[in-house]
Amino acid sequence: MDVKIEPTWRERLQPEFDKPYFKSLTDFVREEYSSVTVYPPGRLIFNAFNLCPFDQVKVVIIGQDPYHEPGQAHGLCFSVNEGVAFPPSLRNIFKEISDDLGRPAPVSGDLSRWARQGVLLLNATLTVRAGQAGSHQGKGWEEFTDAVIRQLNEGRDGLVFILWGGYAKRKGAIIDRSRHLVLSSAHPSPLSAYNGFFGNHHFSKTNGWLVSHGETPIDW
């Protein structure tokens, strides 16, 4: 199957695109987009990959579902379009950045600036029905994004994987801790942020690791 995705990712992921589950997933997603409102816009389903080629990835942040309210989702986990109010989890992420790095919190919720620096903002499920959280789970996206994590785990060295919450921790269980840095904590959701997300120092720890491995730190 010819999937419109950044070329270095297409080369790595073509075996997935040729599997029966991906054909079924594609059929399901096309039918959804043709019959109901689905986020993100179709052209942005693979936005995380298009902004961050395989060989430029330094950091991977794993989310779960795209935002399901109008105007929010644009293919990057935790990120919203410019001018959109910050969802609670993103607000807490920015608070931790400010506290961790001792600087003002970011003013834009569009995290494309992170992606262009090598942060893969990967949701486990890449599409969702409007207003229906989790509605596209169990259709094949999780198998696909597991393959993405496998490719990075096996094909790269010295990456930082950031796992917030139980779901991300389970999804990241396959990561080789002897070759990559894995940072885990509670989720930034208001329900759990005070149970270990705040004060995790993941942003400074990430940059410390990158500098120690000869990489440019992320301007969070």
Q: Which active-site residues does the annotation give?
A: 65
- List beta partners, residue 59: 119, 160
Sign of the CA dihedral 6, 12, 13, 15?
positive
- Give me 85's structure tokens: 């109010």
Per the CB < 8 A criterion, the answer to whether 122 and 145 are in contact is yes
- Residues 179 and 153: their CA atoms lie apart, in Å, by 8
CA distance 161 to 177: 10
Cβ–Cβ under 8 Å, residues 68 and 133: yes
Q: b vs e for 33-72, b when ≥16 Cβ sit within 10 Å of the residue's Cβ?
A: eeeeebbbeeebbbbbbbbbebeebbbbbbbbbbbbeeeb
Q: Which helix (H) or strand (E) holds 24?
A: helix 20-35
